[in-house]
Chains A and B, each alone.
Chain A
Amino acid sequence: MTAPRPDETDIYLPRPATLIETESLTAHERFFRFEMDAGVELSYRPGQFLEISMPGFGECPISISSAPSAGGDRGFELVVRRVGNVTRALHGLEPGDRIGVRGPFGAPFPVEDALTGHDLLFICGGLGLVPLRSAINYVLNRRDDYGEVTVLLGARTPADRLFTRELYAWKLRDDLVLEETVDAADPSWGAHVGVITKLIPRLKLAPENTRALICGPPIMYRFVLKELEKQGMSAEHIYLSLERRMKCGVGKCGHCQINGLYTCRQGPVFKYADIAAVREAI
């Protein structure tokens, strides 16, 4: 059982990737497009994450924000909020600079199986749009495989909105409903003001046929889930992406445990029915 095989990969060994393009999205968040070296492909699914290395500063888990293409991908997109050592170093990168990458890791949103044929409701709080954008664009690339698509988006202020050009393009589509709200508006704001939960009762949901995908700050889940239950949605049909402190990404370091579950292995995407009784989850 324990003898290491010489051909086994080292689960802690990053592979290099090069920054192709970067852009500031808000005062604290930056967009990045990286490419793996020629001949190296990442085969990822929406909802999965990578461990990003800035050697000398460390490593941290970041969700993949791009949608995978049909084959493998050399390129991938991230959005990083500047909060500490690694994320600050990432914000200092310029095109051509290189990073290390491990992964992809974690359980994805079931876009290929449990979600197909259904109405989809995406509920994105703040940075929660980052992983959900991968799933949304995946769905838009195969639009006919799904029913109605609704995206609810909450931001603190209009200045905190991510991907504003992309949101505008979604707004113009007639096969997607986008509803936005902010906690605090400014004079230019023309949409809703208030918490994201307030948007839910206004929707004409077909609860039986709807599948919800949720990602946002820890405080958001409880209220959103309560509202979805009120609308008659089953816990079997709700998927959440949860964040925890995480170091190794491969189920060893112990940090990301939610009671007995490992966020990096059984999550970060969980079916609500599987964690409704897990006390530390929501």
Chain B
Amino acid sequence: MPQKLIDQSSLGHWVAALIAEHKVYGVQAKADRFAFDALTEADDLRLDHDVTILPPKKYFHPPQEILLQFDREAMTFESVFHAEPFILLGVHPYDMAAISQLDKVFSMDHRDRHYLARREAATIVVCDVQTASPEVFAGCMGHATMEGQSGHDMLLTLLDDGRYLVDPVSAKGEALMGPLAHAPEADQAALQARKRVWDRNRRQLQKNKLKMKPSELPGLLAGSYDHPVWEERAELCYSCGSCNLVCPTCYCFDLRDELNWDLRTGRRLREWDGCMLRGFAAVAGGHNFRARRADRYRHRYFRKGKYTWEAYGEIACVGCGRCISACTANIANPVEVFNRLLEER
């Protein structure tokens, strides 16, 4: 597929053309931070963002969504699928890695058509990181760039000369190239320049430094179940679930019914849940299988570094650093936890 080179103003025209024809969500400034939201003006797009408050996961696995509609009297249930096509602009490589993990989770054995419908409707435009966030460590997790990763439809990279390299990697991505038909094709020099951006990002997206390879985590955790770190840090935990809420790889959910005013029809909702919340493993009869904060705290890190590896072949931390900033108790830094386990092994 042809890779193109465009300058900043052509980028603006191209985004405006996309907005005119498609439903587009993109990264925008929200006070002094950034968030994905519906994009109506090309100028609002901020590809220089460091990290978004919530990951783009919300477009595939929303905080709340309707799965079914029902009629209690007729006892009929009808699936609700959301399949309106949309374009997602400005996804960082680590967040794309997280989406690829969710793809595995929701398509393995019992395939989840609600997730898959939204996923199929999306065209994902990844943008290489231009500004490192204060806590990012995607470079340690192997997710600083799209090299060796897939799932996206297009990759944008800001080169050092101020131009963007536009690289469509799927049919959906190529379908967005129409307005760029006359832009020059990227030459070898541009591809070399992109490599330099990647090399730099791999080095710079390491604001926290993990002192091991991610693939060593399952083994490290296997020997750390009774390490004092779980009790010590959980001592400060508010069980607020913020670390779950902002995490691009967390996907646990609850199902809940809501009735309409007729008390006859209604809907079944799926809503985000979090393993750090107190009642997550509570059952009727008063028993809670993870009643202690330390049990829940340890579960989260084992899930990130070991359980998902065993189930899906993935380390479920992509190094976005969001949980580090989100935690008021300042105990949610995965790198601190893992490094300490390594040092005190």
Task: List A residues at the B interface (Cβ < 8 Å).
Answer: 1-4, 8, 10-14, 16, 53, 55-59, 81, 83-84, 87, 98-100, 217-218, 243-245, 247-248, 250-255, 257-260, 265, 279-280
What separation, in Å, do the CA atoms of A258 and B273 have in the docked complex? 17
B131 at the interface (CB under 8 A from A): no
- For this complex, 16 residue pairs linking A to B, each with C-beta atoms less than 8 Å apart, are A1-B107, A10-B68, A13-B77, A16-B76, A53-B70, A55-B70, A55-B268, A58-B256, A83-B284, A100-B75, A247-B253, A254-B273, A259-B307, A260-B303, A260-B306, A260-B307
Is B44 among interface residues, defined by CB-CB distance under 8 A? Answer: no
Number of interface residues of B (CB under 8 A): 57
Distance to closest chain B CB from A165 (angstroms): 26
Given contacts A16-B76, A56-B266, contact A255 B284 (CB under 8 A): no
A53 to B68, CA, bound (A): 12
Interchain pairs with CB closer than 8 A, number:
135
Give chain B nearest CB distance to A275 CB in angstroms: 14
Any A CB within 8 A of the CB of B255? yes
CA distance A99 to B75 in the complex (A): 7
Q: Whole-angstrom distance from the CB of B235 to the nearest CB of chain A?
A: 20
**A212–B294 CA distance with the chains assembled, in angstroms:** 34
Tell me the minimal C-beta distance from B110 to chain A in angstroms: 4
| Top 8 closest pairs, chain A to chain B, by CB | A254-B252, A260-B307, A83-B284, A250-B110, A98-B75, A4-B116, A55-B70, A10-B79
A11-B112, A100-B77 as given contacts; A248 in contact with B255, CB under 8 Å = yes
What is the predominant secondary structure among interface residues of chain B facing chain A?
mixed
Cα–Cα distance between A13 and B255 once the two chains are bound (Å): 12
Q: Which residue of A has the minimal Cβ distance to B306?
A: A260
Name B residues whose Cβ lies closer than 8 Å to a Cβ of A: 67-68, 70-72, 75-77, 79, 81, 103-114, 116-117, 119-120, 225, 251-257, 259, 263, 266, 268, 273, 275, 280-285, 287, 289-290, 295, 299, 302-303, 306-307, 310-311
A-side binding surface: helix, strand, loop or mixed?
loop
Which residues does chain B contribute within 8 Å of A55, judged by CB atoms?
A: 70-72, 75, 77, 257, 266, 268
> Looking across the interface, which residue of chain A has its beta carbon closest to that of B70?
A55
The interface residues of chain A lying within 8 Å CB-to-CB of B310 are 260
- B255→A58 contact, CB < 8 A: yes
- Inter-chain contacts of A259 with B (CB < 8 A): 299, 302, 307
Q: Choose from B110, B119, B257, B275 the contact partner of A56 (Cβ within 8 Å).
A: B257
In the assembled complex, the Cα of A58 lies from the Cα of B225 at a distance in Å of: 36
**Which of A57, A244, A251 sits near B109, CB closer than 8 Å?**
A251
Give chain A nearest CB distance to B203 CB in angstroms.
Answer: 32
Most buried by B among A4, A217, A243: A4
Q: A12-B268, A253-B273 are in contact. Are A56 and B72 (CB under 8 A)?
A: yes
The answer to whether B280 touches A12, judged by C-beta atoms less than 8 angstroms apart, is no
